[in-house]
Chain A
Amino acid sequence: MPKPVSPMAPSATFVWVRRIFLVALTIFTLAPVLVMASSSLKPLQDVQGPFRWIPSSLTVRPYIDIWSTVPLWDYFVNSLIVSLSATVLSVVIAIFAAYGVSRYRFVGRKIFTVSVLSTQMLPGILFLLPLFLLFVSIGNSTGVALHGSRLGLILTYLTFSLPFSIWMLVGYFESIPRELDEAAAVDGCGPLRTLLQIVVPAAVPGIIAVSVYAFMTAWGEVLFASVITNDRSRTLAIGLQGYATQYDVYWNQVMAASLVVSVPVVAGFLLLQRYLVAGLTAGAIK
């Protein structure tokens, strides 16, 4: 992507408006991050009294205590298994579907894309109750534990990112020249080999973008996690609320735990964000 060069020197007013706006926005954006980081290093009496910018003393105690106050590690493992599985499944399913939509003309093609996309607009609350009851009945009649298990959450989450992933990958696949497919066909490749050896490698940035989106969707989900999980399958989204007891909220531990669960995701996202922008440019916005 060529970096744009300024066609004309922007006026002084423009530069000042830009400066003030961006500084204000940076403060707004970073305030919670600073609070999270500084409060996680404060002793308990600091976070239970009036807010202070400078801690009375620095301590790493909260980072040690978070693991024993609630079973944070278990929640972490649950979130990781659920999010990774949902991401992998969702991306694989989306790749197949997007390939079908972008490379074949078949009856029902339009209906499929439109209806899959429109599930994106359904309010989660609408199918939360039925899904909960459906999972309970499936469990009662077949013994397959979907309610209260990681499996139920994995299946649910993979569909959350599916519509957007299919949409974005269709756009991405269509930007890959057909001639490549045809050359592969001449060489005797079947459709699946063409997909795996030609289309997928050419669409790696789009696939990365979609994977990042799918993982973040699953990692941050709260509503379904609050209903479908039980004590053993609880994810971080719900587990983090455990630092509030009936009498006290261990704010320093809440902040430490929040930081610990955020760092991997934020770091991964910032490393891969240019793929997301490129993927959005190629796939979703035309």
Chain B
Amino acid sequence: MKSRHRLLPYLLLLPALVMELLIHIVPMAVGIFMSFKQLTQFFIRDWSAAPWIALNNYRIAVDFSAPIGKSLLNSFWVTCSFTLLAVAFSWLLGVAAAIFMQEPFWGRGVLRAVFLVPYALPVYAAVITWSFMFQRDTGLVNHVLHDQLHLVSEKPFWLIGDNAFVSLIIVHVWKTWPFAFLTVMAGLQNVPRELYEAAAMDGASVWQQIREITMPALRPVNQVLVLVLFLWTFNDFNTPYILFGKGAPEAADLISIHIYQSSFVTWNFGSGSAMSVLLLLFLLLVTGVYLVATARWRDADA
């Protein structure tokens, strides 16, 4: 009876462990192994037979004077600036909306449901609609900008060229800010009312209450939220893939699309794996630094 109880927690975890091993851990190990091989389409049937080329895939990936390295570096910078802007806007909109909706007002319940719609809509349906809105000749965006507001003299392209970067951020922010809203809204429920009442008694304005009470109280929530937003945004594949199809314009060539292309379009799995491993190392580094800086690691085992 006693030994059964000692085994019980492990038995409870077993299904989760098996699935994590099968889908995440083993493939990741295989991926690292593959990154040392010259794995092209000729070896897909028997990938263990691909020749071992040690660090060659990595050397090619980080040779920034050659075309492959150059385009990888470009895509890295595109991803970094995209992530920075998209996370900043999503976070701002989410926090502002949650704070503005902390106090009851007429229509608050309906508005809350409306704001959650982008989060609930299936990604592909939403992003396909955006791509329709961004069409040069038939889209809503150019109709409003050019035909109705006369803000531009020539209808711009939104899905090719440099503007694609802007479109990508708009769509990503549209899709992501409700998650920030939802999280901050949940976090706000833990802020004690007495703090606001005491501040109001002392004559603090609403803005001062937000700055002095709400924002500090949201700090732990924000620390987790920003990290999650960062990881999601940096790894986002769905938005560019559906918005641009298989060939993203250079200005919006996110790293996940870039690796997908070099793996499944040009069929070079070895080089794709090496790029994935580099990406993982970068994410580990950033996350590690962030966790140490915010000292949230203590809560990871809560």
Binding site for B on A (CB under 8 A): 1, 3-8, 10-11, 14, 18, 21-22, 25-26, 28-33, 35-36, 39, 47-52, 92-94, 96-97, 99-101, 103-104, 106, 109-110, 112-117, 119-131, 133-134, 136-137, 140, 155-156, 158-159, 162, 166, 170-171, 191, 216, 219-220, 222-223, 226-227, 236-237, 240-241, 251, 254-255, 258-259, 261-262, 265-266, 269-270, 273, 276-278, 280-281, 284-286
Contacts and interface: CB of A to CB of B under 8 A. Distances in A.
Contacts of B264: 129, 227
B158 interface: no
Interface in B82-112: 93, 96-97, 100-105, 111
A240 B197 CA distance: 52
Interface in B247-302: 256, 259-260, 263-264, 269, 272-273, 276-277, 279-280, 283, 287, 299-302
A126 B16 contact: no
Contact of A251 (B124, B130, B138, B269): B138
How would you classify the secondary structure of chain B's contact residues: helix, strand, loop or mixed? helix
Interface hub of B103, B174, B183, B279 (most chain A Cβ within 10 A): B103
Contact of B117 (A92, A127, A133, A266): A266
B16 A286 contact: no
A166 B256 contact: no
B96 A21 contact: yes
Contact of A134 (B30, B183, B205): B30
Given A22-B100, A22-B111, A32-B129, 12 more contacts: A6-B103, A21-B96, A32-B126, A93-B16, A93-B19, A96-B16, A100-B9, A112-B13, A116-B20, A125-B237, A126-B279, A220-B122
**Interface-centre pick from B6, B20, B183, B241 (highest chain A CB count, 10 A):** B20
A68 B254 CA distance: 35
Contacts of B47: 133, 137
